[in-house]
């Protein structure tokens, strides 16, 4: 028979101390893909080779963007603190 008790869903999450790295990963991944799509379309047009060219560009852009986000994050946090009132 079926068990009438609800089963708890266990969600795996990283520790809060990894927030800067996780943020950098997602930000870099999304921005690098968007930039690769736009720049590849502008430079080479959209044809049958477009997806391959985008992925080729992304292989270089994503790690570069990830490192850049990690490096500039402290500066951006300071600039935000200078321009935004705290609660």
d(CA 83, CA 87) in angstroms, rounded, equals 13
Dihedral angle, C-alpha 15, 16, 19, 21, nearest 10 °? -40
Task: Supply 57's token pair.
Answer: 């560009």
pLDDT of res. 7: 73
What is the model's pTM? 0.79
d(CA 36, CA 32) in angstroms, rounded, equals 6
pLDDT tens digits, 17-36:
999 999 999 999 999 999 99
d(CA 59, CA 79) in angstroms, rounded, equals 30
Start-to-end C-alpha separation, the chain? 54
- The domains of the chain are located at 19-83
pLDDT tens digits, 59-79:
999 999 999 999 999 999 999
pLDDT of res. 3: 66
């Amino acid at each position: 028979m079926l068990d009438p008790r609800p089963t708890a869903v266990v969600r795996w999450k990283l520790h809060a101390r990894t927030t800067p790295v996780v943020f950098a990963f997602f930000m870099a991944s999304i921005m690098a893909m968007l930039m690769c799509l736009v720049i590849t379309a502008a430079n080479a047009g959209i044809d049958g080779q477009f997806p391959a060219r985008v992925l080729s560009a992304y292989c270089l852009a994503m790690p570069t963007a990830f490192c850049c986000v990690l490096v500039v994050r402290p500066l951006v946090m300071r600039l935000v603190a200078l321009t935004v009132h705290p609660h």
